[in-house]
Structure 1
Amino acid sequence: MIRVLFIHQNLPGQFRRLMRYLQTRPDYEVVAIGEETAVRREPGGPKLRVIGYAKPDGPGDKTHHYLRHFEGCVRRGQAVARVCVGLKQEGFVPDVVVCHPGWGEALFVKDVFPRARLVVFCEFWWAADGLDVGFDPEYPVSLDDRLRIRIKNSVLMQSLLAADDGVAPTRWQRGVHPAELRGKIREVHEGIDTQQLAPDPHARFVLPGGAVLTRAQPVLTFVARNLEPYRGFHVFMRSLPRLLAGNPELQIVVIGGDGVSYGRRPPQGHASYRAALKAELDERFDAVDWSRVHFLGKVPYAAYRSALQVASLHLYLTYPFVLSWSMLEAMAVGVPVLGSDTAPVREVIRDGENGFLTPFFDVALLADRALDLIARRHEIAQVGVAGRATVLARYDFETVGLPVYLDLLKPLDERVDERADADAQEVA
């Protein structure tokens, strides 16, 4: 029996599919730790014990602002360490711990479970230049921002130094980590469920007012966890007048919340970037036909999947940052994707072969390219087929990601023995 402990403040996070798979295996015992609010959304079951911890207090008022993130992570790591001590006292000592280190939860795991294999999810390494920070001239950064960002990586560095293995979802995400630490990190995506996410020529998507969208009509989709500049929402919004004027039958479906996952808050006086940009467009243009732009907020997964399945084209924009599941999931259902010509997207999409690329900041070109592709949606269907083939070959959970994760889930002693055997064979 292999004992596996998952730790993620927003449980299950990137570990959802792996956790659910292990629950079907009799040779694994699975426990998961997350913040209490997340645990309430992801209850345990017969094969999964879930333990919540209270959200820790924030940093003190007098803490230097470079250190506020660090202090918050230390407090969270300490809360997780207390839960781990309780598990140890009960007799549960994991063979393997899989943890997202971004919020400090991995900091002290090895101090409580020194013989457990610690695998950390290396999602992103922050940089003051060359990646997301300073990419968008509309949101300039100061020297103070750059100094703070350097300190922000302290948590990731400490966690990765303590870990036995790291995993990064894409080659680009692995590559943004320092060369000194990169040797610990393997490239393996958490996996796309390509059986559930598949083309459906008969798909129907029902809008809130009752209107039904199908593949017979032109539909453009835009999806982000939250509608914000990091995911190009401002560029997308500014393309709407040209998109709507260029095709009077076009329906645009927008899925995502009004919060902020990354970057700075919305402009002062506006509750969200959506409100701010809508006000900007209404001031600049005489009449934007908002009746054909459907802002749906966050929707159930089945509705999200149906929206992708009826789409003629899916638009995905991102800073040089973490690649979203939504782009790969759109490709999995066979809808052609028009993506921003930024590094994480270029790793996946080859323009005109398995998708299409467009410059991130060129609003007019984005609209014109999208209108052309939608008008030729029957001609470009094979590009959507090629996009799905890419996901099957490189990002499928069962055939690509799972075998690598199962290798990483071997206990530390077993992995050490295997390496010793391999070294002996190499010497022989």
Structure 2
Amino acid sequence: MFRVLLLHKDFPGQFRPLALSLLADPRVEVRGLGQREEWRLPGLTPQLYRDMPAVAAGTHPYLLSAADHVIRGQCALRDAVGMAQQGYRPDLIIGHCGFGDTLYLKDLWPDVPLVGYFEFYYHSRGADVGFDPLFPVTLDDLARVRTLNVVNLLGLEAVDLGVCPTEWQRSLHPAAFRDRLQVMHEGIDTDLACPGPVPALALPDGTVLTQGDEVVTYVARDLEPYRGFHVFMRALPEILRRRPRARVAVAGGDGVSYGPPPAGGGSWREHLLGEVGPALDSSRVHFLGPVDHGRFLDLMRLSSVHVYLTYPFVLSWSMLEAMACGALLVASDTPPVAEVVRDGVNGLLFPFFDTGMLASRVVEALGRGAALAPLRQKAREMVRARFDARTQAVPAWRQALARFGCPAPAGI
């Protein structure tokens, strides 16, 4: 039996499709470690870190993230030592290297291959930091951002194989380490995320949307600038003025996943409504709050036009799932998006900060919906060809893991 130890702070995180494949293989035994369980996997209950201490008060501001990751790495090591004392030794370790979970496992098991997932290497210029003039960057910010890579660099030195989900994310890592980084996305379930009929969708305010309505959608984990929420909101008055039948469905929380909150307090939704509210027909803008995955997919199937924006940062699963559902995508022309979306082929692009162009592209998409139907089809075809979990991503992962002795399914 080949033993795989899988680690992720929010278990299983990006490893869900791979974990399901490994669990279905009778030749493989999978164990999991993590801080919390995000998804329940049939046949696997991860061991969760106990009594993880908080970062000490007075820690240098540059080191707050690193200290949190070191503490998580110590928790993972402590639990791994307990497993080793009971006779357990994995044949392969797979983990996310950005949160500290894998930091010290090579010290316990130096001869066990380690495959690490590297999501984002921070840069003080040329990526997310300094991209938005809304947030001027100080020298102190640049020094802090440089320090954020401490855990990434320790991980890059330790792994036998590193994995990045996209070419652009790989390109952010230092050239000296890129040879050990392979591009493999974790995969999208395109059998689940697919076009299809949607029954009438009742919104919290009592409005009922159908596939015959003109619906503009926007979705993010949290409504914040990193995902272009401010740009989207500033474009809405013009979109609604030019399309008097259009309704807008916005899904996402009022917290902050990335970047700072508004300087004056409150949420970015409240802040932007205060800015554009007088020019906005609020009866046609519906804030849904966070939605579950099934409701998100129904929104994408119902959507007439789906708007997605992101800083030069991690590409969202939601964009790929929207494309897999056959959504007509209007998206920011930023590097992670441009690696996937070809303007006029499988979506429509616009410069991130150009609210006028965003409005015009949405209006164009609404007005030419039938003529642009081939873009919907091409979007789904591209996601299936490059990102489908069952036929593309998981086979690529299993083939890569076979280098370390992990049994591969027949035909790989």
TM-score when normalising by structure 1: 0.91
Shift of 1:184: 0.8
Query: Deviation per CA, 1:149-192, whole angstroms, max 9, x where unpaired?
Result: 11110100101210111111111111111111111111111001
Deviations 1:223-269 (A, max 9, x none): 11111111001101111111222212111111111111111122223
Aligned to 2:83: 87
Q: What is the one-letter code of the residue matched to 2:3?
A: R
Please state whether the residue corresponding to 1:139 is helix, strand or coil. coil
8 Å CA contact 1:191–1:395 kept in 2: the answer is yes
Question: How far has the Cα of 1:82 moved from its partner?
Answer: 0.4
Aligned residue pair count: 407
Q: Residue type matched to 1:29 in 2? A: E
Deviations 1:289-325 (A, max 9, x none): 2222121121121111000001111111010111111
What is the alpha-carbon distance in structure 2 between the residues aligned to residue 114 and residue 291 of structure 1? 61
Equivalent residue number for residue 272 of structure 2: 277
Gap regions ≥5 residues in structure 2: 408-412
Separation in 2, partners of 1:414, 1:349: 34
Runs (5+) with no aligned partner, structure 1: 416-428
- Partners of 2:174 and 2:9 in 1: how far apart? 25
State the partner residue of 1:13.
13
Give the one of 321, 325, 331 matched to 1:333.
Answer: 325
Verify: 1:365 aligned to 2:357, yes or no. yes
1:141 is aligned to 137
Cα distance in 2 between the residues matched to 1:258 and 1:98: 33
Residue 117 (structure 1) shift: 1.8
Partner of 1:50: 46
User: Is 1:352 paired with 2:347?
Assistant: no
The TM-score, its normalising length taken from structure 2, stands at 0.95
TM-superposed CA distance for 1:56, in Å, is 2.9
1:257 maps onto 2:258 in alignment: no
- The CA distance in 1 between the partners of 2:109 and 2:404, in whole Å, is 12
Secondary structure of the 1:99 match is: strand
Aligned to 2:162, the other structure's residue is in SS state: strand
8 A contact 2:187–2:388 mirrored in 1: yes
User: How far apart, CA to CA, are the structure 1 residues paired with 2:144 and 2:350?
Assistant: 32
Structure 1 residues 10-409: aligned runs within 5 Å: 10-35=10-35, 38-39=36-37, 41-43=38-40, 45=42, 47-54=43-50, 56-202=52-198, 204-270=200-266, 272-282=267-277, 285=278, 287-409=279-401
CA distance in 1, matches of 2:379, 2:386: 11
Partners of 2:144 and 2:86 in 1: CA distance: 40
Following superposition, the deviation at residue 43 of structure 1 comes to: 4.5
Aligned residue identity for 1:387: A
* Secondary structure at 1:48 match in 2: coil
Aligned to 1:423: none
Identity percentage of aligned residues: 45
Q: Secondary structure at the match of 1:180?
A: helix
Distance 1:348 1:253 in 2: 24
Question: 1:98 is matched by which residue type in structure 2?
Answer: I
Change (3 A) 1:307 1:67: same
